[in-house]
Amino acid sequence: MSTRCAKCHTPDGEAVNEKGAKLVLQTASYPNFLDANLASLQEASNEKFGDKIKLLAKPLGELEHGGGKILEADSPEHRALQELVKRFQSGDPCPDARIASVDGVVMMTSAETARKAAIDLGGRLPTAEEEAQVSAEGEAGEQALDAFLDRLMTEETFYERLREIYNDLFLTDRFLSYGGAAIDFMDTNVYPGLEPYRNDEKPEYNSPDRPKINRALAKEPLNLITYVVKNNKPFTEVLTANYAVVNPFLAKAYNVQPTFANPQDENELQPVQVMLGSGQALPHAGVLSTPSFLNRWVTSPTNRNRARARRVYQFFLATDILKIAERPVDPSAATAHENPTMTDPGCKMCHAVMDPIAGGFRGYDDNNYESFQGDRPWFNDMVAPGYGGTMLPPQSYGAALPWLSQQVVQDPRFATAAIYAVYAGFTGHKPLAYPTDAVDSPGHQLRVDAWTAQDAFFRKLAEEFKAQNFNLKVVVKGILKSPYYRAKSLAEAPGEKQALFEAIGTGRWLTPEMFDRKIQAVTGIPWRKRWEWENIFKDKEEGKADLRLNRGLWLRDDFRLLYGGMDSDNVPVRLQEPNGISASVAWRMANEMSCAVVAWDFWKPQAQRRLFPLVDIKDRPEFNGKAVGDAQVAIKNNLVHLHRLVLGENLTPDHPEIERSFSVYLETWRELAAFESQQDKKQDLHWECHARYDYDNLAFIPEDKQLRKDEDYTLRAWMAVTTYLMLDHRFLYH
């Protein structure tokens, strides 16, 4: 029926929308679409005309079926429809029903989940106290995990992650790629507060505030999401908020004066009402009415906001309208119609869905995208503005976008769209699509089972989301505690059931931003350009306020795209699997980070060390070719510590993985110690590996206290081990 009947019988299809047909078939993007369609068909099976059942007669072209004859009387399709009606009448429509599940996965423990979530949401590792709490057995550990996740969702890095996740959809960070792109796209007649920052003859143009204002403009939709979630407001307000959210710098652009606790804090957000240059109050509609959203998803005099309508469906209704009618379009047939979008069956199927939503953007200029004028007329050669068969009421013509937003958030698909975004953001997987291959193709039923199980999970989570007043943190926690995030292995080999488990569990290639935070969480410092460290230390010594702590990060600058990231513009999607270039970036990172942190960590008192608290710099593993027992014990104990810190593994000193790491250490040490008897003992460290910086205090180490030599050859042996561990797939993946 999805290929024959749904073309006209979807909620926005011709049969329903124009003919008022009672049979409504939801598409696969609709929550619980199978159950909804089954219920609709069962109701239709009870309708008769004389002694004929309408559901069976109309597809044969009988009873004035508007779609004409679409099935033959003795075709397999019509026989299947007869069997369905028979099962409806028997009261047992699915005697061989099966419950799809993903049983058989081994879940992460509470402690393992806490570590993964801490890196993901908090950009840090759990503290010793937090580890102790979540390491409790059974229900106590799960309750502690709940509390821990709640705590993580109050930290600033969590909101940074949310902004990253939603920018992967909105792509509004495009305006960060250029110095003042967000400002330059704005019309100062509409937003006169921006005029001095657009005019290169005024001092504000070169002021430190200009890049901050540009950043605030670009991130306004993402900051609104942050504000809603941080304040535990209903997530529906990302569309229905009748206010804008500004930080101290965006407030200057909008000429508003809310009270800020810290006028320099870019993360402090306050709600305001924005007034346009015309003196009219902007009819706010959450992210849809923000200038960066309107300038990122532009329109034209011929497009008439249809591209924006597509994004509304994609971002907030979990629907790709381009898939509504995937079929060839005959351009010669369209030319026979004066207005194909309204009268040509090949065109109007999509336009009947798209154009009413496009009408929600009435009032916005087709060329000056963020310019709004409520009395601008709409087009009379398009389907009238509205939503789902309800027309936009005349009293809302001047505020069509707020009206549209109210309709969208009442659609069940709004909750599904939010779940899809969070799911993709935290698991790295797209939600499964309903299988459309032939039912007798290999693995089809398993793919259906996988989809059914995931769909059941999403539907249950959507109910909890709505029951908790659309608090997005409920969705985040639900996904983080599910097998889709926590599964780490299978109880037994999947065999023929492989397709059932393909979308479950850990193992996503880290984004550059996530990887940057993980490196710092584990080592204590970020992977930064060496000369930027020098600048930071000099700034600190000179008492400058700007320590440039966010500059020079390799994974956020030069290597962001090379490592699989995106720029929201020319590269709008992330790499899901590594390639040769990204692997080379990882190699460089591991080498440079081991060089940077090993000598510095050994420079510190042993009790204050992060990486090497259990060994001494003079712990040689051998003397005169014989093992030094105490030293080897200490080395292996520290390897246990490193495996736990870097990879999250809880191993014993005799574990094979510890033995492998010890082999790396020992072979490196032996190679260096072989120069012991030579005049050139090769004790000097490469200058970049010297302990010259105190990264904890952002200061230069005095020359007479710097660690520049590796007299016992242990530093470079530990560098080899650190490189080895930081190239492990368990460090590169999440």
pLDDT digits (tens, 9 = 90+) for 218-239: 999 999 999 999 999 999 999 9
Round to whole Å and give the CA distance between 121 and 426. 9
| Positive or negative torsion for Cα 687, 691, 695, 697 | negative
> How far, rounded to the nearest angstrom, does the alpha carbon of residue 52 sit from its chain's CA centroid?
52
Count Cα atoms within 13 angstroms, Cβ side, for 332.
0
Round to whole Å and give the CA distance between 604 and 593. 17
The one-letter amino acid at 618? K
Q: Which contacts qualify for 74-79: CB closer than 8 Å, 24 or more apart?
A: 77/4
Round to whole Å and give the CA distance between 714 and 671. 11
Round to whole Å and give the CA distance between 355 and 299. 13
Can you say whether residue 168 is alpha, beta or left, with left for phi > 0 and alpha for psi between -120 and 50 degrees? alpha
DSSP codes of every residue in 167-178: HHHH-GGGGGSS
Return the residue matching tokens 């001092």: 203
Please, which residues bridge with residue 66 across strands? none
DSSP codes of every residue in 552-599: SBGGGTTTTTTTT---SSSS-S--SS--HHHHHHHHHHHHHHHHHHHH
Round to whole Å and give the CA distance between 391 and 385. 6
Strands 693-694 and 487-490, bridge-based pairing: unpaired
pLDDT at 179: 66
Contact 409, 382 (CB under 8 A): no
The one-letter amino acid at 649? E
pLDDT at 321: 85
Question: Rounded to the nearest 5°, which phi and psi values hold at 495?
Answer: 60, -125
pLDDT at 333: 61
- The H or E element containing residue 335 is none
Contact 250, 216 (CB under 8 A): yes
pLDDT at 99: 66
Determine the angle formed by the axes of helices 220-230 and 156-170, rounding to 10 degrees. 140
Ranges of H-type helices in 10-155: 14-17, 33-44, 54-57, 76-90, 110-117, 128-134, 138-152
Round to whole Å and give the CA distance between 635 and 718. 10
Strands 386-387 and 52-53, bridge-based pairing: unpaired
| Burial status of residue 392 (CB atoms within 10 A of its CB: 0-12, 13-18, 19 or more) | buried
pLDDT at 324: 67
Stated pTM of the model:
0.92
pLDDT at 478: 97
Round to whole Å and give the CA distance between 447 and 434. 8
Round to whole Å and give the CA distance between 184 and 28. 41
Q: Which residue, among 485, 477, 489, 492, has the nearest Cα to 508 in the 3D structure? A: 485
Round to whole Å and give the CA distance between 253 and 212. 11
Separation in Å, CA 367 to CA 305, 372, 397, 504: 11, 11, 20, 45
Instruction: State in Å, rounded, how far the first CA of the chain is from the last one.
Output: 41
Round to whole Å and give the CA distance between 688 and 693. 10
Torsion angle in degrees (nearest 10) through CA of 505, 511, 513, 514: 20
Q: What is the mean pLDDT of each run of 10 residues along the chain (734 residues)?
A: 80 72 79 80 88 89 85 89 89 67 88 97 97 94 97 97 98 85 92 93 92 96 98 98 97 95 95 95 97 97 96 94 64 68 75 92 94 93 92 96 98 95 96 85 89 91 98 98 94 85 86 98 96 91 80 94 96 94 98 97 97 98 95 98 97 98 98 88 93 94 96 97 97 94
Round to whole Å and give the CA distance between 338 and 344. 9
How many other CB atoms sit within 10 Å of the CB of residue 365?
A: 16
Return the residue matching tokens 């904890």: 696
The token pair that represents 589 in the structure block: 């990172």
Round to whole Å and give the CA distance between 501 and 649. 24
pLDDT digits (tens, 9 = 90+) for 41-99: 998 889 888 888 989 998 898 888 888 888 888 898 899 999 999 988 888 766 666 66
Contact 423, 429 (CB under 8 A): yes
Round to whole Å and give the CA distance between 440 and 430. 25
pLDDT at 8: 82
